[in-house]
Amino acid sequence: MAGTVGAEDAEYYYRCCDRRTDLLPHVKKFLQICESISSHDDIKKILNLGVHVLQGSQRSAAKRLLHVFDIAMGKV
């Protein structure tokens, strides 16, 4: 396995080089992508992916973003 997505910190952990990448900027882009898509099924898939990445994170920024995703899921 090349790496893992950390549930506690919303990061991607590269096992081979012991590096971490913050996933919050990438997940924020999901919302921008959803604004330009007309297919409700595609929007739901993207929002679900964002929720899965953010779930379990202890970071306050990730929790706030997860709340935004939950609201968006309710509107779709």
55, two tokens: 């779930």
41, two tokens: 């099924």
CA atoms lying within 13 Å on the CB side of residue 61: 9
Residue at token pair 């997505």: 5
What is the per-residue pLDDT across 34-72, written as a single tens digit (0 to 9) for each? Answer: 999 999 999 999 999 999 999 888 899 999 999 999 999
Contact between residue 43 and residue 37 where contact means Cβ atoms under 8 Å apart: yes
What is the per-residue pLDDT across 8-43, written as a single tens digit (0 to 9) for each? Answer: 688 888 888 888 889 999 999 999 999 999 999 999
Q: Which amino acid is it at 10?
A: A
How many Å apart are CA 18 and CA 32, to the nearest integer?
30
How many Å apart are CA 2 and CA 16, to the nearest integer?
7
